[in-house]
Every structure is written in structure tokens, then in C-alpha cells.
Amino acid sequence: MFPEGFLWGASTAANQVEGGWNEDGKGVSVIDVQALGSHGREVTDGIQPDRIYTSHKATDFYHHYKEDIALFAQMGLKAYRMSIAWTRIFPNGTEQVPNEAGLVFYDRVFDELHKYGIEPVVTISHYEPPYALSNQGGWTNREMIGHYLRYCKAIFQRYKGKVKYWLTFNEINCAQVKFGVMTAAGVNCNFWDPINTEQLRYQALHHQFIASAQAIMLGRSIDPEFRFGCMLASMLNYPLTCHPDDVLLAQQTNQVKYLFCGDVMIRGRYPNYIGRWFREQDIHIEMQPEDEAILAQGKVDFCALSYYMTYCTGHDRSAEKISGNLLEGLKNPYLETSGFGWQIDPVGLRYLLNDLYDRWQLPLMIVENGLGAKDTVEDGKVHDAYRIAYLREHIKALEATISEDNVPVMGYMPWSALDLIALSTGNVEKRYGFIYVDVDNEGNGSYDRIPKDSFAWYKKVIATNGEDMA
């Protein structure tokens, strides 16, 4: 059984659904200069008139938010995990006064959510810092912390009483992973710097740790009722074999890929094991004398997670590889795969949640989990039984985690509430939403909304608090 008050919801991100990229004073974010390319998104030098930037309109939540939120309410959502576009509030990141039109937009979104009794769960920074700041070194520059805190102060003061749950950074552990568009997104280093080194990424990550901790202290001073979470991408690796070398490698991989960030933000200090990794990679973190105290004081209240799949790791480099959510690993021969090659592992969710709660003893929240697929419209309907099957098995695993293992999970917010633009490719064809949006990869379409079969199914799950998953 799911507990009373469980936050059944769904998720999106501003840069993947909003559009309205230059309306009402919004500035250019790092996502706004990523055009469609033959192999995913390609960073351009500013906005090029002959290129297609799908994030500029995305699935147009900016102009459809009332319609969309009414559909969320029809589905029965109790929570909506979303993000605020930093450049709607501070267009270049360096302004001293926030953009009032941007603040008003989110006032309207929050008011509309509350009208239907939907709790907003807000990500402060979801991969879209201001473009202007990325050219100053992005998060490798410690000055970024001050810009971020000014942004936080503006939204904390404005939305006090409207937002309770805040996530300081989306999938903060992905700042450690070397991959194309995220590096270009200024999450890690200088926007145009081709030298994407471990040293730069971990220095940038340290600055994000400090920014998060200071934002939490700031937020609590503004509203003691605020609750703050870290948000981690689950990158759970199993050992490919039971050979002790593979088991040790899997442990070390998990430590570096996601446990490290959680340990810092939850325990308030750098864990001992990371010293080995820093020595191996010749990483030397520059810290200020006050940083240790900041980390200790700015610990989170809960841990939010994205969970899509698991991986294997081992020393057999000839083993078949598989790609997934921002990471590549070895294929697990015991798991099925989706049409996009992601392995499906609901049991892994139960394992992960048990492991993390045993480690940290903090409430957990699932804010991303879902199946990307090429949905098609037939006679005005979208039959996505494959998505229902995926979600059903993961919700069953979640129920067992809560009811049998006594792990406190606050909510479940699958990815995604409605179709959106994929982060890595900029395409819409890999759809996740409960609501279909009529738009193609080049932005053509009516933008009409069509609830999928999964919409009606999830509505039933929520209405019965998880009892009816048929």
C-alpha cells in the first residue's frame, strides 16, 4: 500500500517544454544555442538564422500552460515536478534586478497548479544557465555561485508560500560525466572550451556543491517551511560477473558515478573514498577555508532521483555495450530492452532505493522514471501499452519497497507529464509523455494535446492510490 498523502505526479523541465525562448524579456540560455544536427544537438556561435532550434518553441507549454495544467488535474496529479528557466528571471545572469515578466509567468503557473490542488516540486537549475555566464567560464568560475544565489534569493522571496519543495540542481552527478551537449550546456566548463577535463568538471562540481549548500541556508532563512532535495541520476552498476575484480569495480563505479554527490550533499562532507579517484585522475580541488563549514551547514532534507535503467560493469572489455541515460555500460543478459536500446529493470529500482535509504536515512523521491518510444496517432488516439507495462512494473517495485521494506518514499513523478524535446538530441520523436503533443522534430504541427492510453491508466492508479494497476 502507498501511504496517505503520497505525491503521485509527473515531471518536465522548462527547456524541454516551455518554448517562448525570447518572449517577455527572457534571455538566451545555453540550450537556446543548440541546433538540430545530424548526430544530435550542435552548439552554434549564437543564434544562426538558417538553423533549427527545437527548444525555442519546444512543446509550447509557455502558451498552453492553463490547458496543460487542466489536463494534469484531469489525470489526478497530486504533484508536478518542473523547473524555472533561469534566464526568464535574470536574462544574462548578471543583472541586479530580476525580470518582472518572468516572475509573473511562474506566479501564474503556480497559481494554476494550486487551483487544482497540485503541489509544485521545483528544480532551480535544470541544465540551462545563462549563455552569457557560460562564456565567463560557467561553473568552473567561482563567481557563478554569486549569480546563482542572487537568482535563488529572487525566486525564494517571490514564491514563498507557493513552493515548498526545491531541488537545487538537476542530476548534479552528471556534471562528472563527459558527454557532448551537457559540456556545451555550461554545466561543467567554459562554453567553448574544448578541453573538457576531469579537473575542470570536478572543480565545477565543487562550486555547485557550495552553491547548493548556500542556497539551502538562504532558503531556510527566508522560509523555514522550505524543504530542499538533491537530485541524482541513478547510474546503478551491477558487476558483470561474480569475479571479485568485477564486484570491486562495480562498487567503485557506483561510488564515483552517483554516491559521491549524494554523500557530499547529504552528509555534508567529501567522502574518504573519493581521494583514491582524485589521485588516479590527478584532480586537485581548489577550496576556500570556509567551504567545509558551508557543506556541513547546507545539507539537504531529502534525496530525489531519476531512474530509467541499470548497467553492468566488468573487466571483460569484449562484452556487449549498451547506452542509456547519459552513460554507457555493459549489457545485462537477463534484462529486456526498449525500442531505443535502454534496458528495463524494475527490480533494480527496489534494490537502489533500499541501498540508498540504508546509506543515508533520508526520505527519497522519484522525480523521473519512464519509457521513451515512437508513439503514433491512430484515429485520434495513442495506444501506448508498452509504456503502461513499463510503468506498472516499476510502480509494483516501488510499492514493495515502501510496504514490505519500509523505505520512506515521498512521491513518484514519472518522466514526463507531456511530450517534450529530448535533452541529448533536441528531437521530439522519442516521446515520454502521458499527453501527446502534435509536433515533429522540426517544430511543425498543430501543437494539439492528445491524452494517451497511459493517461487514463495512470489516472486510475492515482485515484486508487496504487491499488488498481490493471
CATH number for 422: 3.20.20.80
**205 within some domain:** yes
Distances (CA, A) of 379 to 375, 376, 432, 456: 13, 10, 20, 17
Q: What is the pLDDT of residue 183?
A: 42
**237 within some domain:** yes
Question: What are the DSSP calls for 148-169, one per residue?
Answer: HHHHHHHHHHHHBTTB-EEESS
What positions carry a catalytic annotation? Answer: 171, 368
**144 within some domain:** yes
| CB neighbour list of residue 178: distance below 8 Å, 6 or more residues apart | 196, 198, 201
**425 within some domain:** yes
Q: What is the pLDDT of residue 182?
A: 43
Cα(222)–Cα(220) distance, rounded to whole angstroms? 5
pLDDT per residue, tens digit, the chain (470 aa), is 899 999 999 999 999 999 999 999 999 998 999 898 877 778 888 899 999 999 999 999 999 999 999 999 999 999 999 999 999 999 999 999 999 999 999 999 999 999 999 999 999 999 999 999 988 888 889 999 999 999 999 999 999 999 999 999 999 998 765 544 344 344 433 344 445 678 888 998 999 999 999 999 999 999 999 999 999 999 999 999 999 999 999 999 999 999 999 999 999 999 999 999 999 999 999 999 999 999 999 999 999 999 999 999 999 878 888 776 666 789 999 999 888 888 999 999 999 999 999 999 999 999 999 999 999 999 999 999 999 999 999 999 999 999 999 999 999 999 999 999 988 788 999 999 999 999 999 899 999 999 999 999 999 999 999 999 99
Cα(409)–Cα(423) distance, rounded to whole angstroms? 27
Q: What is the pLDDT of residue 195?
A: 53
Q: What is the pLDDT of residue 189?
A: 38
Number of domains making up the chain: 1
Rounded to two decimals, the pTM is: 0.95
Closest Cα partner for 254 from 352, 182, 322?
352
Cα(190)–Cα(336) distance, rounded to whole angstroms? 39
Domain that residue 211 falls in? 7-463
Q: What is the pLDDT of residue 164?
A: 98
Q: What is the pLDDT of residue 20?
A: 97
- Per the DSSP assignment, residues forming a β-bridge with 368 are 306
Report DSSP state, residue 332. Answer: P
Backbone angles phi, psi at 453, to 5 degrees: -55, -35
Residue 89, SS3? helix
**333 within some domain:** yes
**469 within some domain:** no
**431 within some domain:** yes
Q: What is the pLDDT of residue 186?
A: 46
Three cell numbers, residue 238: 551491477
